[in-house]
Amino acid sequence: MRRFHSYGPVDKDIHFAVPRTDLVTDCLNHIIGVPGKGGHYFTIYAPRQTGKTWLMREVKQRIEQDYPGRFIIGTMSMQGVTESDDDSVFFSYIPMLMRRTFKMAISKPDSWMELASYFFKDLSLFSKPVILFIDEFDKLHPRIIDRLANLFRDMYLEQENYLIHGLALIGVKAVLGVDSLKGSPFNIQRTLHVPNLTLDEVQNLFDQYQNESGQLVDTAVLENLYRSTSGQPGLVGWFGELLTEKFNPGQHKPIGSHTWEMVYRRALHTEWNNTVLNLIIKAKGEYRNQVMALFVKSDIAFTLRAEWCNYLYLNGIIDWAQTDTQGIVRETCRFSSPYIQQCLYDALTSELVGDSLPILALEILDDLADVFEGNLNLSALLSRYKAYLVRMKAKGLNPFKDQPRRIDLHYTEAVGHFHLYSWLKEAVGGRCVVSPEFPTGNGKVDIHLNCNGKRGIIEVKSFINLSETRRALSQAAAYSAGLRLNSVTLALFVPVEDEAVLAELSVQTRIEDVMVNVVAIGWM
């Protein structure tokens, strides 16, 4: 029986696979172009583990099937090739690449012109037009990418002299050579994006499993899997492995919601996945502050013109969604999937706050009676958080030291959110389920508490001005009403320590049928 697969290209003979016929045909048409006139030079781009290499192999088979004997087809990978920017070092790999790709022995080229000459029509190295796929192209040093892109551009503009009919450069970057001082050396390129799987394609994969194994999979499991992964092929395959192999309840039992919940929890906390680890490393890197901001704002504009946005998108950390606010249509940032967002949230919380608080979250004799007697009193709970910060300051500790700041030099909202979340888990984690929730698709995060059936929501805001605070109150009330809750609490971080100011901002007001409680928390 075939199985699910999540690392490396899928082999449809031994792995469950969907044909993705339209995508394969689109790529085929790109590289074939007009037979006799020449094909296109283009990039195939998508994050890791989305099926780029599989697509290359499928298109190669289609060319061999639809155009038998017409082309010489080469599939080359730059995986493991030098990352040096030295021309001579790169040239030393060319004989090995040509031998693997075309089964021909050549000597090391001495120059870029000599490398180009291998594809001259009158040199007779090749007897037919060549179609070339270069996988992992962006593994090379940027300078080498620039030189190669320049070389291929010149070949394209002089197609009458070269035998390369079509060229596909495969990696995570959509556009090549934009950093070149000479302009865009590969400005003849088209781009082809490899999209995520659709819900129907995910259903197709599990239909194959059910037909071959005889084991049923509940529809709710597939819907949850698709929603959590957004159809990212590598993640779908990985969850398929976990569900049907590692945590399978038994071939004679259906895979149902209980199994899914356990698998999802294990995928968050105990199971290794190289793609996820890679995304976490990238999210903690140069653009960590932008990633943090996405957890507290759902209206951050998406634009590929911003370097941070471009980087996070091409590496599979974020995506975009179209939003319509009062008739104004915008593209806004979203995490690539709820599962990835949750993984990043946990990782950033640990990095920003650590695995444990430096002092006790609560006073030793505090039983939180006023918090849990009757309705859940989150304002009283947040008063303990304020007292905790006072005790920290008395010991000379500043939990916000060196954390990201806004342009006005005040701390960003995300800093308060992550720290408060960690404190809540430490303070009441034994009595409540404290969990981040993503109410806007997979953008902004609120903190939800469920304490033996008593539910509450804390929204975290950073004070900007009174007008913005009033707007936040209305938004919080509307969100709470949508969840059929009659109250919501705002933790309002204010860049002052004057208790009189904080007391004036700590208000309780009713908006429609929702009681909105504001607890102002000072920080400097």
DSSP 42-111: EEEE--TTSSHHHHHHHHHHHHHHHSTTT-EEEEEE-TTS-----HHHHHTTHHHHHHHHH----PPPSS
pLDDT for position 37: 76
pLDDT for position 189: 61
Q: Quick check: 439 pLDDT over 80?
A: no
Q: Which tokens sit at 347?
A: 């990782």
Mean pLDDT of 395-415: 80
Q: How confident is the model at residue 338 (pLDDT cuts 50, 70, 90)?
A: very high
Count how many residues are written for the chain: 524
pLDDT for position 441: 53
Distance CA 99, CA 442 (A): 47
Looking at CATH, the fold of the domain delimited by 21-193 is given as Rossmann fold (3.40.50)
Listed by start position, the domains of the chain span: 21-193, 199-271, 356-522
Q: Quick check: 177 pLDDT over 70?
A: no
Q: What is the chain's percent helix, strand, coil content, to nearest 5? A: 45, 20, 40
pLDDT for position 444: 64
pLDDT in tens, 263-313: 999 999 999 999 999 999 999 999 998 998 898 888 899 998 999 999 999
Distance CA 371, CA 382 (A): 10
On average, the pLDDT of the chain sits at 89
Task: Give which of 489, 492, 427 is closest to 458, Cα–Cα.
Answer: 489
Mean pLDDT of 409-432: 88
Distance CA 488, CA 480 (A): 6
Distance CA 400, CA 510 (A): 32
Q: Quick check: 183 pLDDT over 70?
A: no
Q: Quick check: 188 pLDDT over 70?
A: no
pLDDT for position 181: 47
On whether the CB atoms of residues 312 and 320 are closer than 8 A, the answer is no
pLDDT for position 78: 93
Mean pLDDT of 501-515: 92
Give the 3-state secondary structure of residue 25: helix
Cα 338–chain centre separation: 9
List, in order, residues 6 or more apart from 106 with CB less than 8 Å away: 94, 95, 98, 99, 118, 125
Q: Quick check: 161 pLDDT over 80?
A: yes
pLDDT for position 146: 87
Q: Quick check: 446 pLDDT over 60?
A: yes
Q: Quick check: 184 pLDDT over 80?
A: no
The packing angle between helices 274-283 and 233-241, to 10°, is 130
Q: Quick check: 172 pLDDT over 90?
A: no
Mean pLDDT of 366-383: 93
Q: Quick check: 127 pLDDT over 60?
A: yes
Distance CA 446, CA 444 (A): 7
On whether the CB atoms of residues 425 and 434 are closer than 8 A, the answer is yes
pLDDT in tens, 37-91: 788 888 888 888 888 999 999 999 999 999 999 999 999 999 999 889 999 999 9
On whether the CB atoms of residues 235 and 262 are closer than 8 A, the answer is no
Q: Quick check: 440 pLDDT over 70?
A: no
Task: Give which of 438, 460, 445 is closest to 338, Cα–Cα.
Answer: 438
